[in-house]
Amino acid sequence: MKRKSWLRVLNSCSDNFKSQIQNRKWSGIVAIAVSFAMCGAVVEAQQPTKVPRIGYLSVASLSGMADRIEAFRQGLRELGYVGGKNIVSEWRYAEEKPDRVSELAAELVRLKVDVIVSGGNSATQAAKKATNTIPIVMSQSSDPVASGFVASLAQPRGNITGLATLAPEIGGKQLELLKETLSRLSRVAVLSTPTISSQIVKELGLAAAALKVKLEFQEVLSPKDIDTAFRAASQGRAAAVLSLLSGVANPYRTQTAKLAVKSRLPAIYRNREDVEAGGLMSYGVTVTDLDRRAATYVDKILKGRKPADLPVEQPTKFELIINLNAAKQIGLTIPPNVLVRADKVIK
């Protein structure tokens, strides 16, 4: 073979050899890159996902909050949250001891929970004092604007939002139910506190004028005032009692029911718990619905929304509860047209 032919063969072999080496180098680089990517994915997969931690704060006892707590948990489940798996809950109850709630609120702050859910005005007030950075969701508040929790229902502005039990028409509805139950009703004792919304008092006054019923307000500042109020109601010849109380009277529901029976006065309350404790009837907000809806606020906040941007919602569901045992004790027959409208009848 001629010398030029040999050179062409050698050059061709040399080019092929270089090409193979270069291809192997690129293959190695790609393999290394793929390995790094896979390692990164494994490391990322091994990194534990942060499980959000929420705190629930209430002045009440665990037994007294059972239905509300279950409603809140149901709301969380409906949104895909399972306790112990993708959410952790810290439950704090003051067991009807208001002086403990501030300490419990501070404890939740030290735990660095992501959200605090408050079960009432006292709990919200304690949480508000404990932190101005951790989001607070009110599961219920009688009047969050008047209480200073939010700037307005539409624009809370601070770190607090949630749900309000504010429904000024409730007092008027309670009075209408009493009038339907006692057709000759002309005088009613109203148990109230200085913090009762002026709008509620106004609506109640309008209803009283329309129904031609005279109202006698009995101010209750402490539990001992409840006994005084019932005595005054009897002495003032009131034919029934309408209670606008909450909070201060909660631990003494059974005592209040017994006083009503002793005074032989039909009484209507705002909370179903009062009837379950022996009271005659209640008409008010379905609070378990508010607790269930509170879970939607927790979900939005955990997904990045700010409390200041979430308007406070008002109640949409109301319930009438009647206790026939209490009616029997005072010799009262509940008219069929009232009884048929009850959401629950205790026999």
Rounded distance, CA 158 to CA 136, Å?
Answer: 9
Answer yes or no: do 323 and 206 share one domain. yes
Domain assignment of residue 123, yes or no:
yes
Answer yes or no: do 157 and 298 share one domain. yes
Most confident of 197-201, 228-232, 249-253: 228-232
Residue type, 288: T
**Residue 108 has what pLDDT?**
98
**Residue 38 has what pLDDT?**
53
Answer yes or no: do 124 and 211 share one domain. no
Asked whether 271 and 251 are in contact (CB, 8 A), the reply is: no
Q: With the C-alpha atoms ordered 67, 70, 72, 74, is the resulting torsion angle positive or negative?
A: negative
**Residue 61 has what pLDDT?**
87
pLDDT, average across residues 142-149: 91
**Residue 222 has what pLDDT?**
81
- Between 248 and 210, name the one with better pLDDT: 210
Q: How deeply is 71 buried, as exposed, middle or buried, from its count of CB atoms within 10 A (0-12, 13-18, 19+)?
A: buried
Most confident of 15-24, 72-81, 215-224: 72-81
Q: pLDDT per residue over 306-345, tens digit each?
A: 999 999 999 999 999 999 999 999 999 999 999 999 999 9
Domain assignment of residue 124, yes or no:
yes
Residue 57: half-sphere exposure toward Cβ, Cα within 13 Å: 30
Smallest Cα–Cα separation from 143: which of 134, 153, 135? Answer: 153
- Between 12 and 205, name the one with better pLDDT: 205
Q: Residue 239 sits in a domain of what CATH number? A: 3.40.50.2300
Smallest Cα–Cα separation from 121: which of 185, 70, 74, 57? Answer: 57
Domain assignment of residue 33, yes or no:
no
Answer yes or no: do 152 and 225 share one domain. no
Answer yes or no: do 279 and 299 share one domain. no
Asked whether 260 and 230 are in contact (CB, 8 A), the reply is: yes
Q: With the C-alpha atoms ordered 323, 180, 225, 138, is the resulting torsion angle positive or negative?
A: positive
Terminal-residue alpha carbon distance, the chain? 118
Answer yes or no: do 160 and 79 share one domain. yes
Domain assignment of residue 48, yes or no:
no
Answer yes or no: do 102 and 155 share one domain. yes
Q: With the C-alpha atoms ordered 60, 61, 63, 68, is the resulting torsion angle positive or negative?
A: positive
Q: Which of these ranges, 30-39, 53-62, 285-294, has the smallest mean pLDDT?
A: 30-39
Answer yes or no: do 194 and 325 share one domain. yes
Which residue range(s) make up the domain with 90?
53-165+288-309
Answer yes or no: do 298 and 272 share one domain. no
Answer yes or no: do 141 and 233 share one domain. no
Domain assignment of residue 276, yes or no:
yes
Average pLDDT of the chain to the nearest whole number: 87
- Between 135 and 2, name the one with better pLDDT: 135
**Residue 223 has what pLDDT?**
78
Answer yes or no: do 212 and 281 share one domain. yes
Q: Which of these ranges, 21-30, 139-148, 203-212, 214-223, has the smallest mean pLDDT?
A: 21-30
**Residue 13 has what pLDDT?**
46
Domain assignment of residue 84, yes or no:
yes
Rounded distance, CA 62 to CA 85, Å?
Answer: 23
**Structural domains of the chain, count:** 2
**Residue 248 has what pLDDT?**
64
Domain assignment of residue 11, yes or no:
no
pLDDT, average across residues 99-126: 96
Domain assignment of residue 35, yes or no:
no
Answer yes or no: do 276 and 295 share one domain. no
Rounded distance, CA 289 to CA 285, Å?
Answer: 8
**Residue 243 has what pLDDT?**
94
Rounded distance, CA 181 to CA 339, Å?
Answer: 9
